[in-house]
Amino acid sequence: YGTLLRGLIAAGPRAVVTGRVLAAEPDRPGGFAPALVDSAAPAEYAGRIWSDVLAAGHMAMYRSAITEVGPFDERLGAGGRFPAADDNEFGFRLLEAGYRIVYEPRAVLYHRAWRRARDFLPLRWSYGRGKGGFYAKHLSLRDPYILGRVTWDLGRRVLWLPYRIVRRQRRAIGDVVYGAGVLRGLIEWLWTEPRRR
């Protein structure tokens, strides 16, 4: 974590630093790690962007960031009703509050590849439901940004679908399951969760 902390000190208190997340050797035949970040290029993000760039399992920030934007939303993520996207939602709030997210590729963490092949589709469903919950939490008729994110997220998967059906069938099916999960999570959040940020 030394590289991550040095990056945070250099970036200052209005930044959060995250790094690469690579797959470790599989624990079992066919084992995989689902959420990886493998770019070797440093990057810095600010303002409104069209992707989620905070790897919550591999980040460093000053305590003042959490004091200002609030903690992770426990309704999202592992153990929550919407079992993913807690890091996406937290990263969104950081960027909305004027923080920068700095990607330092020299900071590397290895994610255990313990998931079985049969976990892939249920995991895509869970990730989609969590992302739908995140989108619904911040959806507003006065601000089209999140609606644009939903459209972009689902639309690009639809555009890639013909290619993936031919070349990467497992990924194509995973994208369909993820998209259905996003829609389910979005509707479920709007139906069941009170309007609070």
Give residue-wise pLDDT tens across range 35-50: 899 999 999 999 999 9
Q: What is the mean predicted confidence (pLDDT) over 22-35?
A: 92
Q: What is the mean predicted confidence (pLDDT) over 177-196?
A: 93
Dump pLDDT digits (tens) for 44-79. 999 999 999 998 889 999 999 999 999 999 999 999
pLDDT band, residue 197 (cuts 50/70/90)? low
Q: What angle do CA 155, 156, 158 make, to 5 degrees?
A: 65
Contacts of residue 63, defined as CB under 8 A and 6 or more positions apart, other chains included, come to none
Question: Quick one: pLDDT at residue 118?
Answer: 95
Q: Is 169's pLDDT higher than 80?
A: yes
43 assigned to some structural domain: yes
Q: Is 11's pLDDT higher than 60?
A: yes
Q: What percent of the chain has pLDDT over 90?
A: 94
Beta bridge partners of 20: 108
Tokens 């079985």 correspond to 116
Q: What is the mean predicted confidence (pLDDT) over 68-96?
A: 97
Structural domains of the chain, count: 1
Question: Quick one: pLDDT at residue 196?
Answer: 61
160 assigned to some structural domain: yes
Q: What is the mean pLDDT of the chain?
A: 95
Q: What angle do CA 87, 89, 91 make, to 5 degrees?
A: 65
197 assigned to some structural domain: no
Q: What is the mean predicted confidence (pLDDT) over 112-116?
A: 95
Q: Which domain holds residue 46?
A: 2-192
